[in-house]
Every structure is written in C-alpha cells, then in structure tokens.
Structure 1
Amino acid sequence: MKTILYSTLLLAALCVAGCNHDILDKQPIDRLSGDVVWTDANLVSAFVNSKYRDLGFGFNWNGDEVMWASASDESMFKHDYGVWTINKSELSPSNLGILSSGAAEYNGNMNPWAKNYRYIKDANTFFEKIASVPNLSTDLRNQHTGEMKFLRAYRYFDLVRNYGGVPLITQSFALGSDFTQVTRNTVQECINFVVKEADEAAALLPVQYGDADLGRATKGAALALKARMLLYAASPAYGPSATWAQAATAAKAVVSLNRYSLYPDYQQLFLTPRNQEIILDRTQTTGTDSYINLERWNGPNGYGGWAGNMPTQNLVDSYETTSGKAITDASSGYDPQNPYVNRDPRFYATVLYNGAPYRGRAVETFMPGGKDSPDGPEPFNTSLTGYYLRKFINENRAFSASVGSQSPWIYFRLGEVLLNYAEAQNEAVGPDASVYDAVNQLRVRAKMPPLPTGLSQSQMRDRIRRERQVELAYEEHRYYDVRRWGIAAQTENQPVRGVSITRDAGGKLTYTYTSVQERRYADRNLFLPIPLKEVQANPKLAQNPGY
C-alpha cells in the first residue's frame, strides 16, 4: 500500500512540475502524506507550490463573493454573509461573523488566525526537513528555502496587521504537544521577525524567473513585504516599532532593483497578468473554475449581476476633479447635480455610475425605469449605494461564462511601493523632491496634474493619504491604513453614503445623497479578537484589549 501511495504522489508531483499552468494553482501535495514528501525532490517542489495556492486572494475573501474592501469605508457588501458584524463593531471572540469560517477553505482567506497558523506549521516542517531531502540541487534547495521564508513572513505579517503581537512559532508541533504554555510575543518582536525573514528570503531569491516559474516569490517580493511591514511598524498604531527612515529605505530598495515600471493604463493594469508593474500576483487558471466570477458577483442587476461589493459615496467623493482639487474645494468645478464629469480618470476605471458606458449601453441607476435600478430585473440585486464595481472587471467576459474570471490578484505592485516610500520619506524628512516625484509618477500615469509645490509636511501627508485611497482602492489597504494612521474612529464611524437619482418626464436628473448603512467603530477594533476556542485551549494566550 505504501508503494502504491508513493507512486501516486510521485506521479502527481511530476505532473505538477511538467504541466504548463500557473504556479499558484498547483494542487496541494502536502496533505496527502507525511514523511514521504521529504524523500523526493519533485514532491518537495510540489509541496512548495501548494503553499502558493493556499496564500488565498482577495476576490473572494471568505470563499464566497466578499472582498475585504467591504470591511472598510470603500465598499459595502450587499448580501451580508457576516461582513456587517465587522461594519457594526459587533465582533467578539465568540461572534466572528465572516471570520468564523473553519479550517477547510476554498481559496479565500477565511479566519486569519487559523489559516495562518496552519500554514506556518507546514512551513516549519519544511525548514526541519529540507536539509535532508535527497536529489535536490543546491540552487533549488536555496530557492525553495527563500520562497518558504517569504511565505512564512507573509503569514506572520498578516497575523500582525490583524492581531498585533502573536505567538512566534518556528518549530513544528507533534500530535499531543503541549500548546498551553505558548504566549504572545510583542508587536516589536513579531515585526523584527518578519523583517528578518524577508531579508533572508531576498538574499536567496532571484530578481526574476524564466517563463516556467512566473508567479514565484522574487527578491522584489521579499523586499516589498519588508517595506510594507516597516511602513506599518513606523505608523502611530504600532508603537511605533520602526523609524520612518527605515521604512523609506526599505521601499527605495525595491525601486532600486530597476525591475519594475508603472503600467501605462491604470484600468488595464488589473486585467493584465505579470505586467511590468506587478511584483507578485496570482493568476487564475483558464480551466473550468466557474466559482471565481467577478463580473457576475459585482455587476449591475440590469446585466444579470449581483451587486456584491458596492462602492460607497464615501469612496466616490475622494476622487478629485481633473483640476487636481478635492470636490470640497469651491474652485474645483465640482457640481453635485452633475457629479461625474471631469473626475480623476481612476474613478472611471474603478466605479460604475449612472451614465457610465458599459457593455454596449449606459448604466442606468436612475428611477423610475432605470435598467440597473430597483425598477430593473432582479431588484434584490440592485446596488444600495447607487454604484457598482468596475475595477478588476473584464467587460469582454460574459456573466454566464463557464470558466472562472481571469483577472490577476496583485499582492504587491510598484504603485503601492511608491506610495509607501512617499509616506515614509515625508514623515522622516518632509516633502522633499523625492516625495513629490514618487506621488507624481502615479498622477501622471492617471493623467492628473502634479501636486502643487510648496506643500507643508502636514499638507503632503493629507495628499498622500488621499492618493492611497484612490490609487489602491479595493486592494485591501484602506481597512489597515485608517487603523495604522489612527483615524479609523473618524472614517469608520461615518455612515455608508450613497446616491439616489430621479429622472423627471423631461429627462432631467436630480441627485440626492443619502445614508445607506450606519457604521460603528470602537478602539478595540484596531485589531481582531482572537477566536474564543483558541483562548480557551490555552489560558496563557492573552485576548486583545476590549474583547
């Protein structure tokens, strides 16, 4: 029986190594057998591949249609699924809402505590076994070690941003091991660990791969993770646990690789896998995985969509006019009764609004009679905010297509790194020329005017924060940004706002701005609660404050 199992595993590994599919979509080999994996180089490679697949992606955060943007003021999820538990500050150790999913998962992130420690355990096993694997070349051994160091560091980063200081576990536990003495490390210790692991990964990983290995972690990915971790560490909510200068230096190291450049088209950036701006992404298979259906999940009801992750008026209002001024500036040219003209082009690439050209006609959210309003088909799938998601959406893909959406989920890209650098450098030394250059590169790409000269440090801080909000919308940054900046009590206690549009008999439109959902935020919501069962199993595992 053991011989048959080994042969089956080996055949699976060889198929994984030989098939021309995305490296992130290999089937998990590590769950089929224990020690047999470490007896063959091909099985080890398959094991590492499986850790990429398990990294998850943000298009279906919990294995369904939910995006993490809907836990922030960027978006509202139409169908709840437990997201509203976060929105209303009702999370508790025994009521985790959408985070209550167990260990079994599809491709979503699920419970951040359980899923991260599950894969940290696998990574620890890898580090204990890798030195003894026969027939594994030194180069491949080093590469896989670098990859696993990156992936473990990414897991710990995710734990830190969601829980603060967590137990740093770097050894595998056997069945029957005593977990009751495990305590939480400090935030500083956890941040130091992520940075150290990222540095060690970067030293082992190549700057780029050949076509057969696209999708693996590179030196740039490891340095980008380090830069993001240090940006968080330097932020008010984290102590700070690093200096802004350290965060700026780390971000500059990614840029200095001269490996990445901004993709010229902002909208197509999110539809074009492995383009020159992307540092690490996950590309969906071209097989029959119909479960990832961004277009149907988020599209307007008049086209057969479900209006899942609905952009908010809060987000829409953050986009400047083409003058480069906020809509609250009386000289910006903004007209609330003609609100969608002359806006930052990133708005048009991110949000579907009334009158937006889409799939051969204009979106109609007006009442009465709008095809994408409650008067259209399937009114239960109408957006409550008056907006639908456009970012990531491929207009050429039919809602009823039998294969999954093909948009890449981007973990790291140059656009974020430039903003990380600008923020850290501004906080470290003020708005010098390099800060302006980093932000203006993104504005020029978006066909927006450069920032005005002569900004103070505080003014530049506000401009960078707005730039992050519009440039990185729906990319899982806003939820964490407002918390690390210490402004969540202002932004997350604001109601979700939307727009209601009426059309009279002559065709004139009247825009009324409304509150759609009340939101609540408390100080305890800086971090998530540790699941009750984890605290009950280990009395020395201290719960986060306020829970």
Structure 2
Amino acid sequence: MKAFTNHILTATLALTLGLTSCNDNFLNVTPTDRVSDAAILTDANLFEDYIINRYMGARLTDKEAEGTLPGFGRGFEYALWSSVTDESIYNNDDNTWLIQRGQIAPENTGIAGTFWGRSYRSIREINYALNNIGKVTMSDARRQVLTGELKFLRAYRYHDLIRNYGRVVLVGDNVSELGDDLTSQALFTRADIKSGIDYAVAQLDQAAALLPQSNDGNWQLGRATKGAALALKARLLLYGASPLYNGASTWTAAAAAAKAVMDLNKYSLYTGGYGKIFTSNDNNEIIFGRLYARGARHVCLEIANGPNSYNAWGGNVPLQNMVDDYEMIDGTKISDSNTSYDAKNPYKNRDPRFYATILYNDATYRSSTIQTFTPGGKDSKDGPSNWNTSKSGYYLRKFMDDTLPIDNPWDIAGTQTWIYIRYAEVLLNYAEAQNEAVGPDASVYAAVNAIRQRTGVGMPALPTGLTQAQMRSRIQQERRIELAFEEHRFYDVRRWKIAPTTENVPAYGVEIGKNSSGAYTYSRKEALTGRSFTDKQYWLPIPRAEIQASNNKLEQNPGY
C-alpha cells in the first residue's frame, strides 16, 4: 500500500518550515538546515511565521512558483487559469491545450493537477498549528487572531477543493502520521457537496468572529480579515446555490452573506481607473490579495505576456470570443439590431474596460502602437521574435504595469498584488443571489449599476423593467467583463451549467490584413483547434496517483 504518497494522509513528513519527527534512534539527530517543531512551539514569533507561511503552498509541478511559492488557485503563473476557458489560450501550450480540448484525464491533468495535493498538504499543516497553538506562550488576543487566520486558511483550501472536485474528504482536525492506521475508509470517504460547503462556511463564521476588520500595522492585504472571511463565505454560498451544486445552499443565504460584507462599510469600488485596480497594491476595493515584493516576486508579467516586438513571450492571449462580448460604450452589443458597432472599425467606442484589458491592433502601448496586421506588423508573424507572435491576434493588457521593464525584468518586475477577492465581486455575488431569491429589485440594479457607472468606466445603467431571466443574463455578462482573467470564468460557466455552450465554441482569433492604401480587413480564424467540453469536465479528475495511494479507496469523479 502506497499510503505515504497520499496527501490526505501525510501531505509531507516535514512541514514547510521543516518540522521533523524521526523515531529511529539512528535518525534522531538535530538538523541544522531547518527550524524544529520544538523551537516553533516555544517561540511565539516563529509560530506566527509558520502561520504566515500557510498562505503559501508547496510547488508541485513545473512552470509554477517563480520567485515565491504558490498560494491559492493558480494566481500569477505563466499559464493563467483564464487559458483553460474561453477568455484566452496560452500561446505556448504549457499543459493547457489538453484541458481546452477536453483531453484531461487522471493520468494527465495538465496545469490542473495540483489542487488536490497542495490543498490537503496545506490542511494538514494548518491542523498541526491549530492542534498546538494552545501550547505556545502568547497573549490571548494574539492567539485569537492567529486562530482566526488558521480557520480562514483551512476554509480557503476547502473552497479550492470544492469548486474543483465537488465532493471532498473532510479530515477535521486530524494530522495523520505514517504510524497511524491507514486502512480506515473514513480517511478516504468523500462527503456530499452540501456537507463540504457547510463545514467551510462554519469555519469562516468562526474566523470572522476572531479576525479584526483591518490588519493595521501588519501585512495589510496579505493576511486574513473579518471582511475576507465574510466575502469568501458569500462566494461559497453563491456557488452552493448555483445549478451545478444541487441546492447545497440557498440564494437567500448567499445574498445575506454578500450583504454582510457590504454592510461593513469598509470597502468601496476603486475610482482611479479600472486598469489601475490591478497595479495599485493598496486600494479600498481589495478585500484579500497576495502581496509581492522585489526579491520575492511572482512571474514577471510584462515579459511573460507582452507582444513579440517588445522581446516578450506573448503568453496568455485573449480570444475573439472574449473581445466580442464587450459592449459598445452606448450599452449595445455588437450583435444587437440597433448596435453602434462598425465591423470596419471594430475596436472603436467599446466598453472602457476593454481598453484596460486587451491589447489590439493600433492600441497605444509603451509610447508606440500594437501592430498585429500583416504584412509587416511588428507584433505579427512578420515582426521580431515571431515564435512568440499571438495566435489570436491579441495580447493581454490587464495586470500589466507599464512602469516595470519588459527587457531584463528579473528582480524588478513581478510586484503586482494578485487579488483573490475584491469588492466588485461581492456586489456581483449579491446581485446574482438577490435576483435569484426575489427577482430584480432596486438593490440588484444598484449593485450592478454601481460597477458599470463607476468613475473610470462610465457605462450606461441597465435598462429598467428587466425580467428575472433577463437580469440573470445581464449579471452573467457583467461578471464576464468585470472579472475577466481573475479565475472566475472557469467556475462560473460550470456552476451555471452553460459550459456545454461556452466551452464547445472554437477558440477564435482575428487575422488582420493591411492593403496598399493602409485600410484593414478583419477575418475570424481558429486560434486553437479541437476545443471541446463534455459533462465529466464539470469537475476535475482526482490525479491517478492519489487514487492509487489510497489503495483505490478514494472515489474518482464520474466519467474518469
């Protein structure tokens, strides 16, 4: 039996700070390259450092964790999570195309294979801290806050598991060791989705009661607060009420949870420009984010995603599917009969968020313009470094900081905050849940319109008199645009059960020609062939190694 490889059981013999527990006398030596568990339990500052490190996880696959260890979700890695959706593709594959093409399998999970192992390893490490925090000498107030952080972190790991796999194993406070009885089916029994969400929500309620509203004097955005716990609770309850989750929670509960965050009166929509939300490391829209610093950076986004003529690698390239969904500045869709869209000038007068999210032909960029046209466009296949030319005809603008270098960015770039939760999401969560619970009342309109009409966006208010179904479509559209590339689309299309439609559409791009008179022609092309979705892909497969490590006691998701 290969129990020692299963992350539910042991996760690792040495926790991230190097905790050891050797029983054999010939191995019972004091290591000099790590901090012992005894030292951590006798030093409150070391113990808090251990807790801070629980915001990170183990590096489990190639092409992740550049600069610092990974956190939750995918975050700022080379291939963003958007590149397994209809938002973008990763230009150089990096184990994303198989997911786009519906070829993911327990033996070949691509970039999606780390959630199970990393989450359970982290849960074990968190449980160790919770089981031992009472032994550490510190003030009651400090112990209370640290306990709240640990419960928040544990709930976040379960949130990552639930939204990717559905039914999860609830291990409670258990910290399994190699000497434990590893034959019990309880160690591998997956709870129903409602039980998983109920458990995580209870953890978040406990965390919210212990955490401060602000971490003044601490790492402000990087550590959990009451608002972060309540906002994650609202997201989980929204998911649970969605069609995929079979009534694991209610729309009424989800709306109330989001309203509780709004009623804190602590957060607000950023009004300094939509694009600057993601390059300003401290603004009042961010509820929970991961801070980076020089010397502890993430992937240098500008070189990883920039256009080829800038000696960049054109990584996550937006799809025409995404571009087509941006409204015109007057609120019409490009497909509307009364649209103001001009097919001969397709990028004119679009939603301002389009210009802050996507680089397109003729877009202003770094004192120059993007040229994806052929022949001769510097950001096309006719330009330098043409192996990095965008397959879709677009490049990513969102998250990029023009004050950071593209050439030789190492130890300088990669400093943007990755935002896990922001206030705009809370407003959209509230609007969706409230609309489903009672219909499109005034508060639903207010939440969506606040996002559309904020300074720096200025889109028209939603039309009055929408039915519940019409409002549902508008909210889904607003999430598509407002939260683009922020790791929501993958889960949204699944929980709404619209993935068979959105994920079976080809991955489109654009081919732009320029004639001798300087006029452009635009033609749709397929940027990545074979895009496909089947029902089994509503959930990820549990990696085969985890099933084998349980001696086949762990149940695989249907279809795999």
Q: TM-score, normalised by structure 1?
A: 0.90
Match of 1:439 in 2: 448
1:519 to 526, 531, 548: 531
Distance of 1:86 and 1:36 partners within structure 2: 44
Q: Quick one: which amino acid aligns to residue 114 of structure 1?
A: G
Tell me the CA shift for residue 54 of structure 1: 3.2
- Pair 1:466 & 2:477 matched: yes
DSSP 3-state at the match of 1:424: helix
Tell me the CA shift for residue 98 of structure 1: 2.3
1:37 to 14, 35, 40: 40
2:103 to 80, 83, 90: 90
Cα 1:478–1:60 change in 2 (3 A) is closer
Cα 1:476–1:58 change in 2 (3 A) is farther
Aligned ranges 1:369-518 → 2 under 5 Å: 369-399=376-406, 400-402=408-410, 403-445=412-454, 446-517=457-528, 518=530
Distance of 1:303 and 1:496 partners within structure 2: 25
Match of 1:201 in 2: 207
Match of 2:23 in 1: none
1:79 to 92, 107, 118: 92
Match of 1:15 in 2: none
Distance of 2:307 and 2:435 partners within structure 1: 40
- Pair 1:272 & 2:280 matched: yes
Q: Quick one: which amino acid aligns to residue 280 of structure 2?
A: T
2:126/2:154 contact within 8 Å kept: yes
DSSP 3-state at the match of 1:211: coil
Distance of 1:337 and 1:424 partners within structure 2: 39
Tell me the CA shift for residue 529 of structure 1: 0.6
> CA offsets, 1:160-182, max 9 Å, x none?
00001111012101223234422
Distance of 2:164 and 2:34 partners within structure 1: 27
1:59/1:409 contact within 8 Å kept: no
Tell me the CA shift for residue 288 of structure 1: 6.6
Match of 1:368 in 2: 375
DSSP 3-state at the match of 2:281: coil
2:348 to 337, 341, 351: 341
> CA offsets, 1:448-483, max 9 Å, x none?
000000000010000000000000000000000000
Match of 1:260 in 2: 267
Distance of 2:321 and 2:33 partners within structure 1: 44
Cα 1:150–1:58 change in 2 (3 A) is closer
2:56/2:70 contact within 8 Å kept: no
Match of 1:18 in 2: none
DSSP 3-state at the match of 2:513: strand
Cα 1:470–1:479 change in 2 (3 A) is same
Tell me the CA shift for residue 211 of structure 1: 3.3
Match of 1:534 in 2: 546
Distance of 1:120 and 1:30 partners within structure 2: 24
- Pair 1:546 & 2:559 matched: yes
Q: Quick one: which amino acid aligns to residue 333 of structure 1?
A: S
Q: Quick one: which amino acid aligns to residue 445 of structure 2?
A: Y
2:55/2:71 contact within 8 Å kept: no
Tell me the CA shift for residue 59 of structure 1: 11
Distance of 1:166 and 1:35 partners within structure 2: 32
Match of 2:300 in 1: 293
**Larger relative contact order, structure 1 or 2 (CA cutoff 8 Å, min sep 6):** 2
- Say which is worse superposed, 476-485 or 262-271, in terms of deviation: 262-271
2:161 to 159, 162, 165: 159
Tell me the CA shift for residue 541 of structure 1: 1.1
Distance of 1:32 and 1:310 partners within structure 2: 43
Distance of 1:396 and 1:463 partners within structure 2: 35
Q: Quick one: which amino acid aligns to residue 92 of structure 2?
A: H
Tell me the CA shift for residue 36 of structure 1: 2.8
1:60/1:292 contact within 8 Å kept: no
Tell me the CA shift for residue 62 of structure 1: 8.4
2:78/2:304 contact within 8 Å kept: yes
- Pair 1:140 & 2:142 matched: yes
- Pair 1:184 & 2:186 matched: no
Match of 1:175 in 2: 178
Cα 1:415–1:302 change in 2 (3 A) is same
Cα 1:394–1:503 change in 2 (3 A) is same
Tell me the CA shift for residue 132 of structure 1: 1.4
Q: Quick one: which amino acid aligns to residue 529 of structure 1?
A: P
1:58/1:476 contact within 8 Å kept: no
Q: Quick one: which amino acid aligns to residue 281 of structure 2?
A: P
Q: Quick one: which amino acid aligns to residue 521 of structure 1?
A: F
Cα 1:243–1:46 change in 2 (3 A) is same
DSSP 3-state at the match of 1:520: coil
Q: Quick one: which amino acid aligns to residue 153 of structure 2?
A: L
2:327/2:351 contact within 8 Å kept: yes
Alignment gaps of 5+ in structure 1: 1-8, 11-28, 101-110
Distance of 1:411 and 1:250 partners within structure 2: 17
Aligned ranges 1:94-133 → 2 under 5 Å: 94-100=107-113, 111-133=114-136
Alignment gaps of 5+ in structure 2: 1-16, 19-31, 59-68
2:112/2:540 contact within 8 Å kept: no
The share of aligned pairs that are identical, in percent, is 51
Tell me the CA shift for residue 31 of structure 1: 6.8
Distance of 1:213 and 1:304 partners within structure 2: 35
Distance of 2:366 and 2:127 partners within structure 1: 49
Tell me the CA shift for residue 57 of structure 1: 5.9
Distance of 1:240 and 1:80 partners within structure 2: 36
Q: Quick one: which amino acid aligns to residue 523 of structure 1?
A: D
Q: Quick one: which amino acid aligns to residue 381 of structure 2?
A: P
Distance of 2:399 and 2:291 partners within structure 1: 12
Match of 2:53 in 1: 50
Aligned length: 509
2:73/2:115 contact within 8 Å kept: no
Q: TM-score, normalised by structure 2?
A: 0.88
Tell me the CA shift for residue 286 of structure 1: 2.2
Tell me the CA shift for residue 332 of structure 1: 1.7
> CA offsets, 1:425-453, max 9 Å, x none?
00000000000000000001211000000
Match of 2:13 in 1: none
2:73/2:160 contact within 8 Å kept: no
Cα 1:213–1:406 change in 2 (3 A) is closer
Q: Quick one: which amino acid aligns to residue 192 of structure 1?
A: D
Distance of 2:514 and 2:258 partners within structure 1: 49
DSSP 3-state at the match of 2:402: coil
Q: Quick one: which amino acid aligns to residue 140 of structure 1?
A: R
Tell me the CA shift for residue 530 of structure 1: 0.7
Distance of 1:30 and 1:252 partners within structure 2: 48
DSSP 3-state at the match of 2:146: helix
1:30/1:37 contact within 8 Å kept: no
Q: Quick one: which amino acid aligns to residue 160 of structure 2?
A: D
Distance of 2:354 and 2:217 partners within structure 1: 34
Query: What is the RMSD of the two structures over their aligned residues, measured on CA atoms?
Result: 1.9
Tell me the CA shift for residue 223 of structure 1: 0.1
